[in-house]
Amino acid sequence: MKAAHAILPFVRGMDEHERLCLLGLSHVEFLRPREKFTLITIMKGAAPIFDLALADIARLVGRKLSTRLWQPGQILDSARQTQNDLTECGAQSIFYWDTGYPAQLREIYDPPVTLFIRGTLPDNGDALAGIVGTRFPTGAARTAAFRLGFDLGREGICVVSGLARGIDREAHEGCVEAGGRSVAVLGNGIDRIYPVSSRPAARALLDRGGAILSEYPPGVPPLQYHFPARNRIISGLCRAVVIVQAPERSGALITAEYALDQGRDLWVHAAGIPGSAGAGTGRLADAGAPVISGAADILRDWGMSATAFPIDSRHGSAADFSSRTLEEELDGNCAVHGGKTYWRT
């Protein structure tokens, strides 16, 4: 990985054909994101790239290319179909030069040229925190991820993760249960949710005003090599990343590496260190990553104060705690998840 920095000045006054060609480049997976920017810079736009032969492209990016996938006419046809698909599903695409493109993400070494979005992105300037980890967490780590997402969401901090089962989904669900906004970054097109078991969580985060985004056009399947690339976007969007629990060789450790490379804060959660399931988390802690026990540690580091209230000050004796909690839940003041109560206000 390489140090993060902005790539190039904005392209202004893009016409519809230029935007179509930029959309077409999202279908060209044999080119790396940085190579696409190189071509756009040299050719002074995306449209002239589609007049080049493959040999010309290889010469300009400085890498041998051997593929039959460079079919400019077919690629632009695919881009037109993508435009139709986005309209039909109420989604949108934005480009690196658009004002709505996330400012934090624009600064990384290899940002996506195009983002495909369902829902609403947070405003530029909002604090975002990434929460990631293993798909097979321990019970303690699962609870910690939900709690962390909930507490950050309650404080108005947007939680970013990958919508995978396990830690990612718990973090999304916690944030949404608190009434917060969450962003899910996919390793496939935004027209499908992978895994299928995450569909309810995806629907809930959209209903709460969050977003689902990807650099891959609608229709692109969840291929294995997409997910490491997806992780750079999770960290790139955020001010900080928390690894809740990760075994050795976990994909979450790739996110951690990206976070460090991009100059983001990196923390590990104390609940995810013990045992083999936390071997990777423990290694990060041993290497100097700060260990946190909850959202209060993050807020303190960011100079923010939590708005949480002491539960005992709101409730009476233990005898009537259960019935009063049920009343509070029905009134929308708290959520019960995994046998624990989480207070929204």
Mean pLDDT throughout 198-221?
A: 97
**CB contact at 8 A, 30 and 68:** no
Residue 4 has pLDDT above 70, yes or no: no
Structure tokens at 122: 């947070």
Alpha helices in 98-156 (DSSP H): 103-106, 139-154
Q: Which is nearest to 212 in space by CA: 167, 273, 168?
A: 168
- 16 burial via Cβ count (<10 Å: 0-12, 13-18, 19+): exposed
Topology annotation, domain 128-301: Rossmann fold (3.40.50)
Full-model pTM: 0.88
Tell me how far apart the alpha carbons of residues 164 and 161 are, in angstroms, rounded to a whole number. Answer: 8
Residue 257 has pLDDT above 50, yes or no: yes
Tens digit of each residue's pLDDT (9 = 90 or more) over 51-110: 999 999 999 999 999 999 999 999 999 999 999 999 998 999 999 999 999 999 999 999
Domain coordinates in residue numbering, the chain: 10-88, 128-301, 312-343
Tens digit of each residue's pLDDT (9 = 90 or more) over 293-323: 999 999 999 999 877 544 433 344 444 444 4
